[in-house]
């Protein structure tokens, strides 16, 4: 009897471990948006709140998926140029995404999908595209032709949307709002390269978020944050190799080819998760000089760029909270003021 009781106690501890300051920790894993998501929250109501988060993620995934035949994005992509009614979720994400496409001069372009698919990044049948085919495909890419108003979307025939560059960051914002409404004060959501933090850790110390090294399995740096989103885009996340060259899933809409800007990974830190996600993809395309210019013009985000050649570039807002670690600890770290 005693044995059973202690076994049960041990089991409960694994399911809901207590932190050093006595707050209960709950974790939920969800497979959605093509990735494994891990949601961790602390405190009394956190388990119930995380269950609501799980259904909310599934709801968003089913609206935004580019491959799910029931999704709103799929309906828009097969509308033959006819107007399509959008849910509030899809409309508000698309509105934010289109604003970021404009703000980045089209480095982020939510209509790049025909090109992404032709390279094989959604089908798994990879091939290197020739100039003539790229030229044809690029005729179908231009976010400026997307019409959105009053909850209705009109996409010219032949064009297709892909919100994969912003959806996880947007999901992070939605989930953090939900957790706040449920009274949760401390949580960290890891949505596959898109990290969203609520408050601080239960003991009041900042969250420590690691930035992957672009090569190998290790890490290049660590960021200390509170109430911030940290979103990374890297070529290493999805790529194929042909004749010794790597081709990755982040496409420069100006050329239709994988972006080669000198950036190996772009991490954006800020309060708005959708903005961080959209900008991380865009900065990877833009490269260090244009990334810096965009930061100077906006100042509503910070970044860490890991550059080809081994240097790291961070904006001044992160100078005290970012440090290089492991194999990157002796690499040059330059602060952008
Ligand atoms: P992320 O991991 O947020 O950088 O998003 C990468 C995903 O966004 C890719 O897998 C594509 O589906 C899509 N994508 C690739 N290049 C672009 C681009 N230039 N603008 C918008 N979306 C893109
Ligand atoms: Mg992104």
What is the pLDDT averaged over residues 11-31?
69
Q: What is the pLDDT of residue 21?
A: 62
Residues less than 5 Å from ion ligand 2, measured at CB? 165, 233, 277, 280-281
Q: Quote the pTM value.
A: 0.93
23 CB near ligand 1 (under 6 Å)? no
What is the pLDDT averaged over residues 8-17?
41
Q: What is the pLDDT of residue 17?
A: 54
106 CB near ligand 1 (under 6 Å)? no
248 CB near ligand 1 (under 6 Å)? no
Q: How many residues does the chain have?
A: 337
77 CB near ligand 1 (under 6 Å)? no
112 CB near ligand 1 (under 6 Å)? yes
Confidence band for 23, pLDDT divided at 50, 70 and 90: confident
pLDDT digits (tens, 9 = 90+) for 254-312: 999 999 999 999 999 999 999 999 999 999 999 999 999 999 999 999 999 999 999 99
109 CB near ligand 1 (under 6 Å)? yes
Confidence band for 19, pLDDT divided at 50, 70 and 90: low
Confidence band for 179, pLDDT divided at 50, 70 and 90: very high
121 CB near ligand 1 (under 6 Å)? yes
Model confidence at 93: pLDDT above 60: yes
What is the pLDDT averaged over residues 113-140?
96
Model confidence at 99: pLDDT above 70: yes
Nearest atom within ligand 1 for CA of residue 238: 10
Dist. CA 62–CA 56, nearest whole Å: 10
What is the pLDDT averaged over residues 78-95?
98
Q: How many Cα atoms within 13 Å fall on the side-chain side of residue 117?
A: 14
Confidence band for 4, pLDDT divided at 50, 70 and 90: very low
Whole-number Å distance, alpha carbon 166 to ligand 2 midpoint, is 5
276 CB near ligand 1 (under 6 Å)? no
Q: Which residue has the higher pLDDT, 251 or 193?
A: 251
Whole-number Å distance, alpha carbon 278 to ligand 1 midpoint, is 8
Tell which residue, 262, 270, 258, 324, has the closest CA to residue 291. Answer: 262
Dist. CA 214–CA 237, nearest whole Å: 9
What is the pLDDT averaged over residues 210-220?
95
- Best substitution site from 165, 237, 252 to test ligand 1's pocket, by max atoms within 8 Å of Cβ? 165
pLDDT > 90 fraction of the chain, expressed in percent and rounded: 91
Ligand nearest to the CA of 105: 1
277 CB near ligand 1 (under 6 Å)? yes
Instruction: Say if residues 265 and 212 touch (Cβ distance below 8 Å).
Output: yes
Confidence band for 189, pLDDT divided at 50, 70 and 90: very high
Nearest atom within ligand 1 for CA of residue 237: 2
252: left (phi over 0), alpha (psi -120 to 50) or beta: beta
- Best substitution site from 77, 103, 106, 116 to test ligand 1's pocket, by max atoms within 8 Å of Cβ? 116
């Amino acid at each position: 009897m005693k044995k059973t009781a202690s076994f049960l106690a041990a089991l409960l501890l694994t399911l809901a471990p207590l932190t050093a300051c006595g707050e209960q920790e709950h974790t939920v894993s969800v497979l959605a948006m093509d990735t494994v998501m891990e949601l961790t929250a602390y405190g009394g109501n956190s388990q119930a709140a995380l269950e609501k988060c799980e259904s909310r993620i599934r709801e968003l995934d089913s609206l935004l998926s580019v491959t799910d035949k029931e999704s709103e994005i799929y309906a828009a992509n097969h509308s033959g140029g006819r107007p399509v009614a959008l849910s509030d979720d899809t409309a508000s994400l698309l509105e934010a995404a289109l604003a970021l496409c404009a703000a980045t001069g089209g480095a982020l372009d939510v209509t790049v999908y025909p090109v992404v698919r032709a390279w094989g990044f959604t089908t798994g049948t990879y091939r290197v595209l020739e100039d003539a085919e790229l030229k044809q495909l690029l005729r179908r890419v231009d976010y400026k032709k997307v019409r959105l108003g009053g909850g209705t979307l009109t996409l010219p025939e032949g064009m297709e949307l892909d919100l994969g560059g912003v959806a996880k960051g947007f999901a992070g914002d939605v989930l953090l709002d939900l957790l706040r409404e449920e009274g949760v004060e401390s949580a960290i959501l890891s949505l596959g390269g898109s990290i969203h933090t609520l408050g601080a850790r239960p003991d009041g110390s900042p969250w420590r978020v690691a930035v992957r090294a672009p090569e190998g399995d290790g890490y290049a740096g660590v960021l200390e944050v509170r109430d911030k989103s940290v979103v990374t885009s890297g070529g290493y996340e999805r790529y194929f190799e042909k004749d010794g060259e790597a081709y990755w899933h982040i496409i420069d809409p100006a050329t239709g080819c994988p972006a080669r800007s000198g950036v190996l990974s772009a991490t954006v830190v800020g309060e708005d998760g959708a903005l961080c996600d959209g900008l991380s993809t865009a900065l990877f395309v833009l490269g260090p000089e244009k990334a810096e210019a965009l930061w100077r013009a906006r100042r509503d985000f910070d970044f860490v760029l890991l550059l080809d050649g081994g240097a790291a570039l961070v904006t001044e807002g992160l100078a005290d909270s970012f440090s290089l670690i492991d194999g990157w600890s002796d690499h040059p770290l330059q602060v952008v003021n």
